Structure 1
Amino acid sequence: MRGETDLATLISNMRPMLDPQPYVFCTFASKTVQELADYDPIGLFAETEGLTAILGVERARELGLAEAEWFRRITLAVHSSLNAVGLTAAISAALSDHGISANVVAAFFHDHVFVPEERAEEALQVLRSLTQSA
């Protein structure tokens, strides 16, 4: 199933949804993917400096890492193609205009935007406004 590539269609149909759970970005210099699997990460990425894991706060707490900055995930509920051009730029620009940082993770079906927990509701409104203005 192919995802959408037209930017105007993506923005007008993205239906941003806020996940109620907070997440923490953690890095591990010596843990393996197999070791981290027990903590149910919603995302893993191998970097030169170590393995980055996106963990729910409770799972991060088990590792003594829940004091790191908390983020909330906003899922853009439109099936975007991995070849789509401009969606990340558009949502990043809209959030940037309001001084909200955005950590975007593109998965196969949807894009997920991680924003600081204390700005999550505001970020959701910004993205809904972007959708309505498209």
Structure 2
Amino acid sequence: MTGETDLKTLLSHMRPMLDPVPYVFCTFATKGPVELSEYEPVGLFQETEGTTAILPAERARELGLADAEWFRRITLTVHSSLEAVGLTAAVSAALAREGIPANVVAAYFHDHVFVPEEKAETALRVLRSLCEENADLA
């Protein structure tokens, strides 16, 4: 299955789900993905400056990093294609209108939106509203 590419279908079927676990974005100049795997990252990205890891806050605490800003993950449960156009832009724009920062990670099956913990419930309402608005148009 390659995933959905039609923007209206994606928006009307995205069914955002809020993960109860808080996450911390961390960077490590000397640790790589293998060394970080024991901390159960939900995301790793190798950059020139080091490895970025998205760690559960409790695991980040073990590394002395839980004082960083906490984020919550909202998963868009629709199976989006990696070639879909506009989903990230539409989601980011809806959240931006409400002053909510969004760090979007596109994985193979779903898109995941990380928002500041204190704005997570509002972000979830915004995305559910976006979904409902597009269901009326589909």
- Separation (CA, whole Å) in 2 of partners of 1:32 and 1:107: 20
Q: Report the Cα offset of residue 95 of structure 1.
A: 0.1
User: Residue in 2 aligned with 1:25?
Assistant: 25
- Distance in 2 (CA, whole Å) between partners of 1:38 and 1:30 is 15
Other-structure match for 2:12: 12
Say how many residue pairs are matched.
134
What's the CA shift string for 1:33-82, capped at 9, x where partnerless?
A: 11101101010000011000000001000000000000000000000000
Structure 2 SS opposite 1:104: strand
Higher helix share: 2
Q: Name stretches of at least 5 consecutive residues in structure 2 with no aligned partner.
A: none
Query: Structure 1 runs of 4+ off > 3 angstroms?
Result: none
CA distance in 2, matches of 1:111, 1:123: 15
- In the alignment, the residues of structure 1 paired with residue 2 and residue 34 of structure 2 have an alpha-carbon distance, to the nearest angstrom, of 31
- The aligned runs of 1:34-45 (5 Å cut-off) are 34-45=34-45
Whole-angstrom distance in 2 between the partners of 1:133 and 1:34:
43
- Given residue 124 of structure 2, which amino acid in structure 1 is its aligned partner? L
Inter-partner Cα distance in structure 2 for 1:2 and 1:98? 32
Q: Please tell me whether residue 111 in structure 1 is matched to residue 111 in structure 2.
A: yes
Unpaired runs of 5+ residues, structure 1, are none
Identity of aligned residues (%): 75
Structure 2 residue 81 is the aligned partner of structure 1 residue 56: no
- Aligned match of 1:120: 120
Please report the RMSD computed on the Cα atoms of aligned residues, expressed in angstroms: 0.4
State the match for 1:92 in structure 2.
Answer: 92
The alignment's TM-score, normalised by the length of structure 2, stands at 0.96
